[in-house]
Structure 1
């Protein structure tokens, strides 16, 4: 079967499509025929060696949508023919989801939203889980003023939508050209650059863009939650500076998929490319300015 792999670290060109054996599902596992996988910043970090893979060659990728074709012993939630989405970390094994067939634990999967094409559903898992879990860090009773930095990005867009769904009326930081989109997603106001932010005006900032200067917008004693561990400000003014990393969770993903079907979450797709264009996909994401997810499909 086809798989997108790296055998060394480096620029996008180290990504190649190779042939690998089709996996078999073990106890509690699903075997998926892959419809699409999404390209995420963590994939770029693995490819560059910033987050080394435990083995090389390695199959890249976290986000997947597909159809169950076989189940292992003990599987209870899914059966062949079911359409699912999942986020699966390759950081412990070096076996990601960018392959024609993928075996993964059923606890990572959720029924795919029925209201979108199955390949588009791959845009949901990692970015939406990151956003939902980051907002949950603020607590169910948060009622202050929230700023989302990078509000036009994949995670930032979900942060705005999910915060608005909670009734929080978040503010967004995004390029002026993205302001209409961010407002449509649910931002009560949109700022065009860190320099335009009011000093100390927000109770919390969630930074999904690696903009540590936005700590200036947090009030004394407020909270700053970074989703970009390579760009974190030093604590100041009794502000709690936190770094958050996502955890895979099929139950939470199921709730998020239902939000898509209910019209509460919009999936934004920038490009759908074949596996063979994985270097282009990484270059596009690395170049910045992409609005919506970049998806890769295995083809026939």
Structure 2
């Protein structure tokens, strides 16, 4: 089978489409014929060596959508023919999901939303899980929330899910993204030329590496960074935390149902074949892409 791999760190050109052995499902695994995978910033970081892979060559990718073709003897949640989505970390194995077939533990998977194309469903797992878990981390109370990087994949999901939870989400985004983030549910939109007011928000969730936004948190409020490379020093009585995503098939199932209910929008920028993996990584690194970049094994 074909997979998107790299055998050395470097620019997008180190990515190749290589032949790999067909995986076999373990007792609790499902074997999935891949429809699409998403390209995430963490994939770029691993490819560059910012986050070293435990093995080389390695296969890239966390997010996958596809069709179950086989289930292990102890896998009971899915049957052949089911459409599924999943997020699986390759950080400890080098075994990413950018391949024609993937075997993964069924606990990581959920039934795909039915109201969007199966390929598009690959845009949901990692970004939406990060957003949902970040909101859970800051607690059930609802007030004034600022999302830094609201135009990006994670930030856009934070805005949508925060509005569903009853928060009054504000968005810090590029000026050109104002209409988009407002449509996602932002009550107010700020940009670098129209900065958010200081000490005015109960919570800031930073999905863009903007540590200076800690100044927007009120006394006694919370700042949560989703980008551990850019975290402010605690100031005043503001609580500063860092959060990393946890893969969770059950939570992913809830998010899929939220998509089907029409309360969560998937934004797709590009759907490219595996052979354009280099282009996909270059587009993501260049910045400014709004919506997920997806790769599919089908040309």
Measured after TM superposition, the shift of residue 143 of structure 1 is: 2.2
Task: Work out whether residues 143 and 168 of structure 2, in 8 Å CA contact, stay in contact via their aligned partners in 1.
Answer: no
TM-score for both structures, normalised by structure 2? 0.98
1:276-295 paired onto structure 2 within 5 Å: 276-295=275-294
* Equivalence for 1:162: 161
For each residue in 1:5-59, what CA deviation from the matched residue of structure 2 results, as whole angstroms up to 9, or x when unmatched?
0101111111111000110101100000000000001101100111111100000
* Equivalence for 1:254: 253
Task: Work out whether residues 211 and 230 of structure 2, in 8 Å CA contact, stay in contact via their aligned partners in 1.
Answer: yes
For each residue in 1:150-204, what CA deviation from the matched residue of structure 2 results, as whole angstroms up to 9, or x when unmatched?
0110000000000001111200001111101100000000001276110111111
1:59-78 paired onto structure 2 within 5 Å: 59-78=59-78
Instruction: Give the Cα separation in 2 of the matches to 1:97 and 1:194.
Output: 40
Gaps of 5+ in 2: none
For each residue in 1:210-244, what CA deviation from the matched residue of structure 2 results, as whole angstroms up to 9, or x when unmatched?
11111111112211100001111111112111110
The change in CA–CA distance for 1:195 and 1:178 in structure 2 (over 3 A counts) is: closer
Instruction: Give the Cα separation in 1 of the matches to 2:46 and 2:119.
Output: 23
1:1-300 paired onto structure 2 within 5 Å: 1-140=1-140, 142-193=141-192, 196-299=195-298
Deviates more, 1:241-250 or 1:214-223: 214-223
TM-score for both structures, normalised by structure 1? 0.98
Instruction: Give the Cα separation in 2 of the matches to 1:233 and 1:159.
Output: 20
Instruction: Give the Cα separation in 2 of the matches to 1:174 and 1:289.
Output: 11
Instruction: Give the Cα separation in 1 of the matches to 2:79 and 2:216.
Output: 49
Measured after TM superposition, the shift of residue 75 of structure 1 is: 0.7
Measured after TM superposition, the shift of residue 139 of structure 1 is: 1.1
Q: Which runs of 4+ in 1 moved over 2 A?
A: none
Gaps of 5+ in 1: none
Alignment: residue pair count: 299
Instruction: Give the Cα separation in 1 of the matches to 2:143 and 2:222.
Output: 11
- SS state of the match for residue 168, structure 2? coil
Task: Work out whether residues 194 and 213 of structure 1, in 8 Å CA contact, stay in contact via their aligned partners in 2.
Answer: no
Instruction: Give the Cα separation in 1 of the matches to 2:152 and 2:205.
Output: 13
The change in CA–CA distance for 1:236 and 1:195 in structure 2 (over 3 A counts) is: farther
Instruction: Give the Cα separation in 2 of the matches to 1:278 and 1:143.
Output: 41
Task: Work out whether residues 272 and 295 of structure 1, in 8 Å CA contact, stay in contact via their aligned partners in 2.
Answer: yes
